[in-house]
Structure formats: structure tokens, C-alpha cells
């Protein structure tokens, strides 16, 4: 019963929140496995020096996920905690954003998490224990303009998590939903970089607002990723993990907006992103 927890974290490139999750769980004396796609494995070398295991894992690939999960099971006989962190940003107006890009956001942010769940659950069920941590977002509660594909992919994770929490209860598996606010990471820079591939037509007059949305979570008083990771690790490893964790800058605002009348939400985002502009 006192054996260290075996923790699998997805999406662990340096500069991201997953990287901090790995360090936070290692600080709690867990056996941590950091994973990412093959092209980013060099980013994990610093984690190896901290005694954290590293494995290639692409959440888009059944074979890759199965290989990583089986490697951990072969070594430790179990996975106690899955941190479903891997994800990408997706910025742009829904009427113009490439359907291929929208599809990729769903495949990584939503189906990628579910693919991990389906691979890990049989092992957890056989042990009658385990914790699955799915990472959503405050914008999954109150979606914003210029990021509808990202917001909706995270909203789907909220629905999936609430369903899984009940469906997996008979097997002794806890499902915990993390709802971060504005957290400092490399997500903003990646979003801006991807925007360079687009030249808006219908929304050309909103290019500045769209770019601002791409980096919105990375400016001002955004919360340090290490603080979020440590908070989540302590909650997940507690005797009675909560059903969800809401943490970070702007969470209070977005939770308020999520329960506000739609006219309040619309007015806020219209003013915030200059959508009362005449074109």
C-alpha cells in the first residue's frame, strides 16, 4: 500500500504544463513517466536527470499509446495515475479556420485523451483502483470568440469526464477534471506561430484581435505552470481526490460567465474582442 504511485503524463515538452506535472509528481515521490511525440523527446532529457522515466507516445496513434502503456505495465505491473495533458491550441474564426486544423484539435485534445483512457482502463479495472485526470479549460465552460475549435474540444472533455466518472466508478477508478485558467506555458507562442499560416479574408479587419486571443492566456497575471502542477499533484494524491479542480488566473471570471445570462456573456466578449466593430 505504501509503494510509490506510478504516474503517466502525456504532452511533456519543456516549457509546457505537462513538463511541470512530471516534476510535481516526482516531488511527491511518485514513479513518473513523461511522454511526448518522437520529435520532442530531446525536450525530456532534463527530466531524465531528475530520475523521471521517458517514453515516446503519440496520442494520435493506437500503436504508440499501446506500446507506451504496455512498457510501463511490464515494468511496474500497474498505472496508478494517468494525467491526460497532451493538447494543442487552435485559434481562428470558425467560418474561415481550416477544417483540417479544427479536426486536428479534436483528434489531439479530445480523442487523444479518450484513446489514453481506453488503453489504461483495463489495467486499472483489473486492480480495482486508479485515477484518471483529464485536463479541460475554463474556456470549455465559457467559450470565447476566435478560439471556438479549442473551446469546444475542451468542452467535450468536460462532458466525457463527467460521464466517465460515473461509468468507471464500479471498477474503483476515480476520474478528476482539471479546469485551468490562464496558465503561463509555451501554448501562446505556438498559437501565434500557427497564425502565420493564415490570411483571413472575411475577418481581415479582425486580424489584431485574433492574434491577441492567440496569446491571451500568456499575458498579465497568468498563473505559473509550476504552481498549477503542484496544486494538482497534491489534490490527486490526497486520500479523497476531488471530482474537479478549478485553478489559475481568471477562473473566477469565467466560472461567473458560465452561469451568467447569455446577454451578459455576449456583451463581455463583444467588448473584449472588439466585435461591435463595423465592417
DSSP string of 34-93? EEE-GGGGGGGHHHHHTT-EEEE--TT-HHHHHHHHHHHHHHHS---EEEE-------S-
Q: Does residue 154 carry a catalytic annotation?
A: yes
Q: Which of 50, 150, 203, 221 is catalytic?
A: 150
Mean of pLDDT over the chain: 94
What does the pLDDT read at residue 189?
A: 66
Q: Does residue 21 carry a catalytic annotation?
A: no
Checking if the pLDDT of 272 tops 70, the result is yes
* Cell matching residue 133: 485526470
How much of the chain exceeds pLDDT 90, in percent?
87
Mean pLDDT of 41-45: 92
What does the pLDDT read at residue 279?
A: 82
Chain segment 229-268, per-residue pLDDT in tens: 999 999 999 999 999 999 999 999 999 999 999 999 999 9
Chain segment 196-242, per-residue pLDDT in tens: 778 899 999 999 999 989 888 777 789 999 999 999 999 999 999 99
**From 37-41, 104-108, 190-194, 271-275, the region with the lowest mean pLDDT:** 190-194
Checking if the pLDDT of 188 tops 70, the result is no
Q: Are 120 and 69 in contact (CB under 8 A)?
A: yes
Q: Which of 5, 23, 141, 154 is catalytic?
A: 154
Instruction: Compute, in degrees rounded to 10, the torsion defined by CA atoms 224, 226, 232, 38.
Output: 110
CA distance 183 to 222: 5
Mean pLDDT of 12-40: 96
CA distance 92 to 146: 5
What does the pLDDT read at residue 186?
A: 79
Domains by residue range for the chain, with CATH: 6-272 (3.40.50.720)
Chain segment 124-159, per-residue pLDDT in tens: 999 999 999 999 999 999 999 999 999 999 999 999
Q: Are 56 and 77 in contact (CB under 8 A)?
A: no
Chain segment 101-117, per-residue pLDDT in tens: 999 999 999 999 999 99
Q: In terms of pLDDT, which residue wins out, 222 or 56?
A: 56
What does the pLDDT read at residue 242?
A: 97
Torsional class of 257: left (φ above 0), alpha (ψ -120 to 50), beta (otherwise):
alpha
CA distance 24 to 178: 15
CA distance 276 to 157: 31
Contacts of 150 (CB under 8 A, 6+ apart): 89, 90, 91, 105, 109, 137, 139
Amino acid at each position: 500500500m505504501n509503494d510509490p504511485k506510478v504516474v503517466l503524463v502525456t504532452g511533456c515538452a519543456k516549457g509546457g504544463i505537462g513538463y511541470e506535472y512530471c516534476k510535481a509528481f516526482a516531488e511527491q515521490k511518485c514513479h513518473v513517466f513523461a511522454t511526448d511525440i518522437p520529435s520532442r523527446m530531446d525536450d525530456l532529457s532534463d527530466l531524465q536527470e531528475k530520475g523521471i522515466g521517458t517514453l515516446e507516445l503519440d496520442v494520435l496513434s493506437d500503436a504508440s499509446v499501446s506500446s507506451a502503456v504496455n512498457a510501463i505495465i511490464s515494468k511496474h505491473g500497474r498505472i496508478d495515475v494517468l494525467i491526460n495533458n497532451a493538447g494543442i491550441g487552435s485559434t481562428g474564426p470558425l467560418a474561415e479556420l481550416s477544417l483540417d486544423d479544427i479536426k486536428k484539435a479534436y483528434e489531439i485534445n479530445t480523442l487523444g485523451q479518450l484513446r489514453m483512457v481506453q488503453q489504461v482502463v483495463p489495467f486499472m479495472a483489473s486492480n480495482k483502483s486508479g485515477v484518471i485526470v483529464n485536463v479541460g479549460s475554463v474556456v470549455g465552460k465559457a467559450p470565447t470568440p476566435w478560439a471556438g475549435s479549442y473551446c469546444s474540444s475542451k468542452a467535450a472533455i468536460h462532458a466525457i469526464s463527467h460521464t466517465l466518472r460515473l461509468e468507471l466508478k464500479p471498477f474503483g477508478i476515480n476520474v478528476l477534471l482539471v479546469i485551468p485558467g490562464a496558465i503561463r506555458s509555451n501554448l501562446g507562442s505556438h498559437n501565434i506561430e500557427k497564425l502565420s499560416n493564415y490570411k483571413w479574408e472575411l475577418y481581415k479587419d479582425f486580424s489584431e484581435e485574433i492574434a491577441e486571443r492567440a496569446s491571451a492566456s500568456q499575458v498579465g497575471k497568468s498563473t505559473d505552470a509550476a504552481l498549477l502542477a503542484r496544486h494538482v499533484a497534491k489534490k490527486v494524491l490526497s486520500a479523497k481526490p476531488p471530482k474537479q479542480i478549478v485553478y489559475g488566473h481568471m477562473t473566477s471570471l469565467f466560472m461567473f460567465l458560465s452561469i451568467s445570462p447569455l446577454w451578459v456573456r455576449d456583451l463581455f466578449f463583444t467588448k473584449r474582442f472588439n466585435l461591435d466593430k463595423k465592417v
